[in-house]
Structure 1
């Protein structure tokens, strides 16, 4: 029995984690999933690093239930909120078919994945289907090459290393040589990951959902300490400031 087939007969609720560095296209892919005619009921958990939610205003109107987690990162400071939201969702199990979690661009996906194995109640009811990492083909190399202070992880590297699927987004903004270089760097970090080239996060949803791709045995082979609680240290040079003003935003001027 293949891993995907085994996942298909698992009665637990499948969970997809969308991760990727800032601006990689996570919310664009989320919108595509929510507006696709797939007939699925999806509960969405969105995590914002800042105090003021931004992505929730960018998510298109949909019937899905959307839960916000603001003012902290899902992999550390507000991880307890994730556990509480998941618990609340399971008390309404009949209202949805699956759960989709969009992390902040600064999240390390490893602690998020740990959540589904270190809490017995969650592990009995939820199944981590896949970690899908969005990669910005136009900017990822500078993020991967960025030097970090001692003890601080490079989030872009961690997100690729832990991916079950990599959506190589914005390939239309770079030349073929850059695409090849990015693919080579991704392979150097995660040799076995499936890479899906995309423009504006246009992907076949069958490639990123219900794929049964997360393999705990593989993860433990690469990282025997995976199920051991570790402290994730963010780069303290990255901060956020929220300014809430009345009126409408001129998106054309913002994007100039």
Structure 2
């Protein structure tokens, strides 16, 4: 019997490339507003999941494991749970699934696993993969991180983000380093979902796709996550000083810093974000009050003992 399969879109991109900001916009637009959402984070606190503001029965968080390494069984289990809940009408009927991976995920093993699990393969199909890469740091990121190169190799559409922060000459230099995928631009999440999906209608580039390769052996990424709890509300000056201190201590080893922190005399926490290549951390007013107050750090191994010793102390 023919069974119509549920399309799955994968959104990936290296740490700090702006994929969550872009996805937050898309989830408010048709057809993603009628999608089920699976968010994967390697930290123990679901910060990206909270930032997306897409709560409910059709939103699932896979935390503290990367789906392309040890998280593949959990992903397939999540898809199975969503299918049965949809079938039994215990959740709102969704028309598709959107998976946001960690910033270190290789989409190749993930996509291959969906075609190898019999239950998932029968009920779901991959509709496309978006990969984001930040224009200001693209060349350095691709030179330093194999994960970023693998993300581009597995992309149907590459979205070059933060294009407002580079010149037209610099943007052209970035695109010269990209594989022959379909390429779109976005500045401050300016790329709408309709325009992003329309990229799939363009002729597919004649390149070797990572998804066509055999499923590689899962491995752990060359990065470590730490969570620094900040349970008591602090003032903004103290938060700025603490974040600057962490950035200075870890230096080039710090790949990502993000979190929600409770602020004195404010009803909403502060949202803190920093990615490698940024000149400074961005601290803005957040909206999530259900996430534990603190900072998640993603660092390369070999960070200084001084930095590690201070991780467990809140300001």
State which of 227, 247, 270 in structure 2 corresponds to 1:250: 270
2:140 is matched with: 142
Is residue 157 of structure 1 aligned with residue 143 of structure 2? Answer: no
1:4 is matched with: none
| Contact 2:80 2:120 survives alignment (8 Å) | yes
Is residue 196 of structure 1 aligned with residue 216 of structure 2? Answer: no
Q: CA deviation at 1:116?
A: 2.0
Q: CA RMSD in A?
A: 2.7
More strand by share: 2
Distance 1:250 1:161, change over 3 A: same
1:7 is matched with: none
Larger Rg: 2
2:257 is matched with: none
The alignment covers a number of residue pairs equal to: 231
Query: Map of 1:101-140 to 2, 5 A cutoff?
Result: 101-140=99-138
Is residue 240 of structure 1 aligned with residue 232 of structure 2? Answer: no
Unaligned runs of 5+ in 2: 88-92, 234-261, 263-268, 273-279, 284-315
Distance 1:30 1:68, change over 3 A: same
- Per-residue CA deviation, residues 205-251 of structure 1 (Å, 9 max, x unaligned), is 134448768xxxx88x656972x332133443x11101233341434
Unaligned runs of 5+ in 1: 1-9, 149-153
- Determine the C-alpha separation between the residues in 2 that align with 1:39 and 1:129: 13
- Provide the secondary structure at the position in 1 that maps to 2:102: coil
2:294 is matched with: none
1:6 is matched with: none
- TM-score normalised per structure 2: 0.66
Q: Which has the higher contact order (CA 8 A, sep 6+)?
A: 1
Distance 1:39 1:117, change over 3 A: closer
Distance 1:142 1:13, change over 3 A: same
Query: Map of 1:1-256 to 2, 5 A cutoff?
Result: 11-36=4-29, 38=31, 40-61=33-54, 65-93=58-86, 95-146=93-144, 154-186=146-178, 190-191=179-180, 193-209=181-197, 226=213, 228-236=214-222, 238-246=223-231, 247=233, 248=262, 249-251=269-271, 254-255=281-282
- Determine the C-alpha separation between the residues in 1 that align with 2:114 and 2:6: 11
Distance 1:174 1:103, change over 3 A: same
